[in-house]
Every structure is written in structure tokens, then in C-alpha cells.
Amino acid sequence: MTDSPSTTSSILITDIGLLSTQTERGDIEDAAFVIEGGRIAWIGAQSSAPSADIRWSASGRCVIPGFVDSHAHLVFAGERSAEFAARMAGQSYSAGGIASTVSATRAASDEELQRTVAALVAELLASGVTTFEIKSGYGLTVHDEQRSLSIASDFTPETTFLGAHVVPAEFRDDPGGYVDLVTGDMLDSCRVHARWVDVFCDRGAFDGDQARAILSAGIEAGLLPRVHANQLQHGPGVQLAVEMDAASADHCTYLDDADIDALANSQTVATVLPGAEFSTRSPYPDARRMLDAGVTMAIATDCNPGSSFTTSMPWCISMAVREMHMTPAEAVTAATLGGARALRRDDVGRITQGARADFIVLDAPSPIYLAYRPGVNVIAEVWRNGELVEANSSSDKEASADG
């Protein structure tokens, strides 16, 4: 087992072959940095490195910021592998499959839901994700949405109220009544456990007027907006996200020139979710078109049991490169700095003085290997808050005193 250095000591990370900072400093060769109190205290060339209590060697490997997953649905019960198999056999995707997860989630105990979240969070960490968001959205009652967010808040401060995922079966004939519930009693019960409010503004879910009402109520309650937008068809979701100053518009599959122009001239991040297109045999968003227009982009896993059951950010990066025409460098930026911007965070997603000491040591000479070796685990070490939290067997070693 790896002997992890103490977070109460200063730690010099040295022998970094290539350091990808995701800042204006760019990549630094033969680099080093110092961690103090879980933060980056110094960064620069190894030849200029100060002393520290502990020296930890990266053994000439590449170091990048920890991944930031800004879109994940981890609180659920049940599984939908048969639905996946049906899609692979030619059945088209719709939002209707969410209902089966809602039924299973409502029937599950708190302990069952907690175990599922804990297992998926462990997978995220193992894949290099050091900051992550968790949504509700599979309860769709006041009680079940509230307990979903309460459970999520035990794992991350980035919790999102998604009572407006779909209209549940019991409100099928009264969608307006469900919007009233979401913006009333449900929001009142959930707001204490949430930082964000989200809505699925698309075919089979909520229209533009309903989505605006839900986001407005969330904002009035002190929550920050984000939007599931333009996944299944072109619609008002992206324009609404920009209008409401949402932190992100997620999916962004069907966009016109006006949508792209609106995103490029806003603070709203376009978050793409490669796992969703892979798992639904749907068209991939044109990330190249968005990037060329100046849109800020993020990549997220969209981990959920129905349309993107993955926790692997490296795999999502490789898919974004292959299917969305991002360069490897653009995809890594989207999975780190872009994810941080989608959560409106400046303390993660980059390696710079004052930032949280969240980083990944790759068993590779450069970040290109994340896409160059798809499906291969090139994660050697994962550090979070200045503490080594994951290490593969080839990376096991002991820290040494500096000097």
C-alpha cells in the first residue's frame, strides 16, 4: 500500500516530466510544485524548487489538474441494461426510460442509495475526477428529491436540484400542476441541500416557458441555474440558459448559428456529454464548430443508469477527440478548466499558486495519451486536497524527507 504523505506537512512534488497547468503559463517541462495545507504554494522549474518537509517524485511522468465532472446523476436505484441493449439493436432513445429509474429510486432505502453513490464516487476518483457535481432527479416527489439531495450533499458541495427532470406518471395529465409542485413545496424542501437548480428543457420533458418558471423560482430561492439543453432536438434550451446567465448548457447536440453566437458571447459554458451519444446511438455535438466560434466548453460524464453509465473521464476525453473533433489538448482543457468554469469555480481545474492541490500523475509522457490509448488506464496517481487518494500498483512508493 502506498505510504501517503501527511497533509499537515509541506510536500514538494518533483521530477515532473511535463506539467500541464491549464493556466497562461501553459506546459512546464522539468517542473515541480509545493503543497501546503492542501493548496499549491509554489510552482516552477525543478531547478528553482524550494525545500519542503517531504519530497515526492513523479518519476518523470506527466502531471495534469484533477478532472472536474460538472454533470452527474449518481443518486438512483435499479439498472437499465436491457434498455441499452434494445437501443443497440435499433430502438430510438427518448426521455421516457427515466420512469423506470424513478420507480426503483422511490422504492430504495437511504442506505441503498448511499451505497450506490459511494461506489460511483470511488469510481470517479479512480478515473481522476477530483471535483464532481451530483444531481437529484430520480425521486420526483418532495420527499424523494429532498432525501436524494441530502445524500448527495454528504459527498460534494456541488449539488443540483433537478426536480424538473421529467413529469412523473402521476402528473402526466397535469404537467402544470407538477411545475407548481417543483417551484413550490419541492423547492422549499430541497433548497437547503442544493447549490444549483437545473431543468431538462427538451422534447418529452419541459418547454421553454415551464423551464423559465422553474429556473426563476430556483434563482429567487438562492440557487444558481444550469440547463439540460438541446439534446433531443433543436429548442429554446440554449437561448434560455444564456438569458438566465446559467453556468452551463449541457448536451448542446442540436444548435443553430444563433445558439452558438449566444454561447460565444456569454459566460455560459457548453458542456458536452460523450457518453450520452455513445449509449443512445445519437449524433454527437459539433464541438469543433463551437470551439472555433469561441464557445467555452466542458466535458462531463453524465453518469446515469439509462443513457451514460460511465464514470471514466479519460474515456469521455477519447470520445470527444474521436467523435466531436476536439484536439487532445482541447479535450483535456474541457475536462479540467472547462468543468471548473461550468461550476463557476476558480480553485480547481488548474495547477497554480493558491489553487486546491488536486492533480493526476499520468503513467505517460503527455496528456495526449488520454486519447492516444483509449480504454487503457494511464492514471498512476490521483491527489485531492494535497493528499494521495488513488495509486495503481506500479506507483506504490514511500515519501522521503526533503534534503
Give the per-residue pLDDT at 176: 97
Would you put residue 305 in left (φ > 0), alpha (ψ -120 to 50) or beta? alpha
Q: Are residues 334 and 373 in the same domain?
A: no
Residues in the chain, overall count: 403
Alpha carbons 251 and 30: distance in angstroms, whole number: 38
Q: Which domain holds residue 378?
A: 11-65+350-401
Reply yes or no on whether the pLDDT at 25 is more than 90: yes
In a domain, 111, yes or no: yes
For range 48-74, the mean pLDDT: 97
Radius of gyration of the chain (CA): 21
Q: Are residues 52 and 144 in the same domain?
A: no
Q: Are residues 43 and 77 in the same domain?
A: no
Alpha carbons 197 and 81: distance in angstroms, whole number: 29
Give me the DSSP letters along 124-144: HHHTTEEEE-EE--S--SHHH
> Which of 320, 342, 364 is at the close of a domain?
342
For range 9-34, the mean pLDDT: 96
Q: Are residues 327 and 385 in the same domain?
A: no
For range 335-349, the mean pLDDT: 98
292-330: pLDDT as tens digits:
999 999 999 999 999 999 999 999 999 999 999 999 999
Give the per-residue pLDDT at 96: 60
Q: Are residues 354 and 273 in the same domain?
A: no
In a domain, 3, yes or no: no
Give the per-residue pLDDT at 97: 80
Report the domain count for the chain.
Answer: 2
> By 3-state DSSP, what share of the chain in percent is helix, strand and coil, each rounded to 5?
35, 25, 40
Reported confidence tier of residue 2, pLDDT bands at 50, 70, 90: very low
Q: Are residues 253 and 296 in the same domain?
A: yes
DSSP run (H or E) holding 360 = strand 359-362
Reply yes or no on whether the pLDDT at 402 is more than 80: no
Give the per-residue pLDDT at 295: 98
Give the per-residue pLDDT at 94: 61
Distance between alpha carbon 312 and the CA centroid of its chain, in Å? Answer: 10
Inter-residue contact 395 to 378 (CB < 8 Å): no
In a domain, 282, yes or no: yes
Q: Are residues 256 and 357 in the same domain?
A: no
Alpha carbons 337 and 63: distance in angstroms, whole number: 14
Query: Which three three-digit cell numbers place residue 116?
Result: 450506490
Instruction: Give phi and psi for 189, each to the nearest 5.
Output: -80, -30
In a domain, 4, yes or no: no
Residue written as cell 437511504?
Answer: 110
For range 118-131, the mean pLDDT: 98
Inter-residue contact 117 to 159 (CB < 8 Å): no
3-state secondary structure of 234: coil
For range 266-286, the mean pLDDT: 97
Q: Are residues 42 and 174 in the same domain?
A: no
Residues 348, 353, 356, 357, CA torsion sign? positive
Of the candidates 332, 397, 330, the residue with the CA atom closest to the CA atom of residue 364: 332
Domain holding 327: CATH number? 3.20.20.140
In a domain, 15, yes or no: yes
In a domain, 5, yes or no: no
Give the per-residue pLDDT at 170: 96
Give the per-residue pLDDT at 1: 38
Neighbours of 6 (CB within 10 A): 12
Domain holding 46: CATH number? 2.30.40.10
In a domain, 2, yes or no: no
Q: Are residues 333 and 354 in the same domain?
A: no
Give the per-residue pLDDT at 392: 85
Reply yes or no on whether the pLDDT at 394 is more than 90: no
Alpha carbons 129 and 358: distance in angstroms, whole number: 9
Neighbours of 234 (CB within 10 A): 14
Of the candidates 74, 90, 63, the residue with the CA atom closest to the CA atom of residue 134: 74
> Which of 323, 342, 361 is at the close of a domain?
342
Q: Are residues 294 and 313 in the same domain?
A: yes
**Global pTM?**
0.95
Q: Are residues 28 and 73 in the same domain?
A: no
For 45, 229, 380, the CA distances from 376, given in Å and listed in that order, are: 30, 32, 12
Q: Are residues 49 and 87 in the same domain?
A: no
In a domain, 161, yes or no: yes
Cα angle 72-315-4, degrees, rounded to a multiple of 5: 80
> Which of 325, 342, 359 is at the close of a domain?
342
Reported confidence tier of residue 399, pLDDT bands at 50, 70, 90: low
Inter-residue contact 281 to 54 (CB < 8 Å): no
- Write down the mean pLDDT value for the chain: 95
Distance between alpha carbon 33 and the CA centroid of its chain, in Å? Answer: 26
Give the per-residue pLDDT at 92: 79
Bridge partners of residue 164, in order along the sequence:
199
89-119: pLDDT as tens digits:
988 776 568 889 999 999 999 999 999 999 9
Give me the DSSP letters along 273-297: -HHHHHHHTPPPP-HHHHHHTT--E
